[in-house]
Structure 1
Amino acid sequence: MRIGVVVNPIAGMGGRVGLKGTDGKVEEARARGAEQRAPGRAVEALAALRDAASDLTVLTAAGELGEAECAEAGLDAEVVYTPAGEGADAETTAEDTRTAVAAFLDHGVDLVLFVGGDGTAVDVAETITDADSDVPMLGVPAGVKIYSSVFGVTPRDAGRIAASFDRVAEREVNDIDEDAYRGGEVHTELKAVVRVPVADAVQSSKQVGGGTVESLAAGFAAEVDPDVTYVLGPGSTVGAIKRELGFEPSPLGVDVWRDGEVVVRDATESEILAALGDRNEVVVSPIGGQGFIFGRGNHQISPAVIRRSTVTVVASREKLDDVGVLRVDTDDDEVDESLQGWQKVRVGRYEHRLLKVV
């Protein structure tokens, strides 16, 4: 098995600092104190790949584009692409990703394993399509938004799938306009259809839309406790709760509310932590078609926030029928494990359903 590995080292940096994406916002993310997320997730996936593969050749790009992560994971990789001006302070670009993937194809890889979000998926998919290649691709989820159905559910899943897949199927690569997303509008666009390894742990594409949640929102609002600080996640379902509480939600952001007042709008991780009180409740809704309640689009609600809070999940019945199970991917194994098991989900004014977090 010959696998080409490319990492977008800045993917996901905008999440915890409230930017809802990193495209064109790297400097702003850094100014807000953002830390790199993708390299650590790459190492996690590559370690799983190393442990599961019996006969493996890894090709990669120099520095943080893959070489450094392969070395940290204990993989001996051949560098087949080095960006111009590569060095400690060099800034990589989407063109570097595309050039690295083209080099992998020239060297006859059996799979392109990439680390990033939907934007990186588009770069990889379009390069493979432009080369008229049938080489499959698989993503390690590291971006803020992940609407495409080409990613492993977790980094470890992606590594294990890359090592052992025996079938592929055509899956969709989607992307959205991040500027519109920051303004509260979600416009998905199909960018490519590519071959992806077949496995249960490859996530579905994100579905937009949902059922009526007015009674759910009214029931929640009727039970709020003035002594509790509520961390209200993004999405239309939680947005209905925010409106029932008497304020207009920030577009696709996390808002903090307590005792009739908005404490922070469109909060970053640090702002949420500063606003927490003695009793805190995080309110989230699963992503349609995927089931993620943490780790997709709400990185501001970090492990540090979750540790200090109870978790309430809300959703329409239709959404729960669609997702089947709930998923978490917080970058913290201990927190992920603590969230696993049966979760009560509010689906109406009084009604709840039990769904398993896996």
Structure 2
Amino acid sequence: MNQLKIGLLINPLAGLGGSVGLKGSDGVADQAISMGAVPKAQERVAVALEMLLKHNAFLSFVTAPGLMGESLLSSMGFQSVSVIALEDKDYSHIGATDASDTSLSVRQFLDHSVDLILFAGGDGTARDICSVVGESIPVLGIPAGVKIHSAVYAVNPQSAGALLLQMIEGELIGVRSADVRDIDEEAFRDGRVQARLYGEMLVPEEGRFVQMMKCGGIEKEEWVITDIAAEIVETMEDDVLYIIGSGATTKAILDELGLEGTLLGVDLVRNRELVANDVSEAQLVEYIDQADQAKLVISVIGGQGHVFGRGNQQLSPQVIRKLGKDHIQIIATKTKIKSLEGRPMLTDTGDMALDRELCGWYRITTGYQDEIVYPVSDGVTSYSVCP
């Protein structure tokens, strides 16, 4: 066994804006909480760390106070924990933290000579860490934010735990440089994607467990996307509530219908008419309960392969279970599927049991009267498809 010293940092605000349709948490945490958002970052880190408890004696942690790491490690029973000193604030309060706490924490992690920085957050958190550490030390992100464009994240919390377990057990794990990217959330909320490269960090090299960089689909695929949209519109059933997921591929369906859609939100259509724009998780549950039948049309993120858990947290485990696996229609261009290089599509709903239930082979609409079959995996149980 290898002794591993981990610097643990949790952004308690990460992901708060997702379930209520705010498309991020930067500067809107209080608003998100007032709208009913429930913090999930602690829970997602706990999933990863649970896998390491059996090797408690081979682990030591340096962490930030309160909800930034200390509280979770204490509640889980990890034995060797050093807590750094930050500002004189109540870090047990979710709204107490900001970007300066992240920067100060990782500086102290470096002073304590940790072997790896494990953090939970989104692209904003990754960007703040990158500004301090650069490529000086390996990092591994547990995806907890709304925006996960950067390539420094595990595909889900379980994968982060599995990768750390391999390191403790002495398996050979290399490192590689990975892009840190972020988008302008104000532009994001207005339906415009403005992303840029902020730097690179070193991540453990394990293709099954660390996500690839998001592919933007720069190739000229407009005709193919239009064909996909035409196929979906032509096959729409009367009186069925269609939930149209986020992204350019799905927005083309609204364009085909001549309706005003949201590029990065979730929209509802019935009988080829707009029912609601940019709905939250709570609204989705209400609409599904009132509908005789509901179906979800969703696309896949090129390069990464995620179907759920990246920028569409409105599609929560509760929503997905109400719909049922058979009422999920995945659409994607063949270029997007090819960008996965044979890797399965992935789910990261935050509910491990549901991720396993969603595994299997799916019919993917790839054009007008054109489809393929392709697998979905939970990213941990099997590299290909769950049993």
Please name the residue that 1:118 is paired with: 123
1:289 to 2:296 alignment: no
Contact 1:52 1:160 in 2 (8 A): no
Task: Indicate the RMSD between aligned Cα atoms, in angstroms.
Answer: 1.5
Q: For each residue in 1:115-159, what CA deviation from the matched residue of structure 2 results, as whole angstroms up to 9, or x when unmatched?
A: 101110111111113xxx621111000000100000011111112
> How far is 1:86 from its partner?
2.4
Q: Tell me the equivalent position of 1:332.
A: 351
**Residue identity opposite 2:151 in structure 1:** S
Matched ranges for 1:307-326 at <5 A: 307-309=321-323, 310-323=327-340, 324=342, 325-326=344-345
The match for 2:361 is 342
Cα-to-partner distance string for 1:51-98 (whole Å, 9 max, x where unaligned): 467621111111000011112333222112344222543611111111
Moved more, 139-148 or 330-339: 330-339
Amino acid across the alignment from 1:285? S
2:151 is aligned with 1:149: yes
Alignment partners' CA distance in 1, 2:49 and 2:353: 20
2:50 is aligned to: 47
Q: What secondary structure, in the 3-state scheme, does the structure 2 residue paired with 1:250 have?
A: coil
* Deviation of 1:260 (Å): 2.5
- Give the length in aligned residue pairs: 355
**Structure 1 CA distance for aligned equivalents of residues 67 and 55 of structure 2:** 23
| Counterpart residue number, 2:315 | 301
Question: Is the Cα–Cα contact under 8 Å of residues 81 and 99 in structure 1 kept in the other structure?
Answer: no
Structure 2 residue 195 is the aligned partner of structure 1 residue 195:
no
Who is 1:209 aligned against?
217
In the other structure, the counterpart of 2:251 is 239
* 1:1-358 alignment, distance < 5 Å: 1-51=4-54, 55-76=58-79, 77-89=81-93, 91-129=96-134, 134-165=136-167, 166-200=173-207, 201-209=209-217, 211=221, 212-276=224-288, 277-309=291-323, 310-323=327-340, 324=342, 325-358=344-377
CA contact (8 A) 1:16 1:300 kept: yes
Q: 1:183: Cα distance to partner?
A: 1.0
State percent identity of aligned pairs: 39
Matched-pair contact (CA < 8 Å) for 2:65–2:91:
no
Shift of 1:299: 0.6
Does the 8 Å CA contact 1:12/1:37 hold for their aligned counterparts?
yes
Q: Tell me, yes or no, if the aligned pair for 1:167 and 1:197 is still in contact at 8 Å.
A: yes
Q: Deviations over 1:198-254 (max 9, x none)?
A: 112100111112623111111110110112111100101101111112202113110
* Normalised TM-score (structure 2): 0.89
Instruction: Answer whether contact 2:118 2:141 (CA < 8 A) is retained.
Output: yes
Shift of 1:106: 0.3
Instruction: Report if the CA contact (8 A) 2:244-2:267 is conserved.
Output: yes
- Report SS of the residue matched to 1:283: strand
Structure 1 gaps of 5+ residues are none
Counterpart residue type for residue 150 of structure 1: V
Partners of 1:171 and 1:196 within 8 A in 2: yes
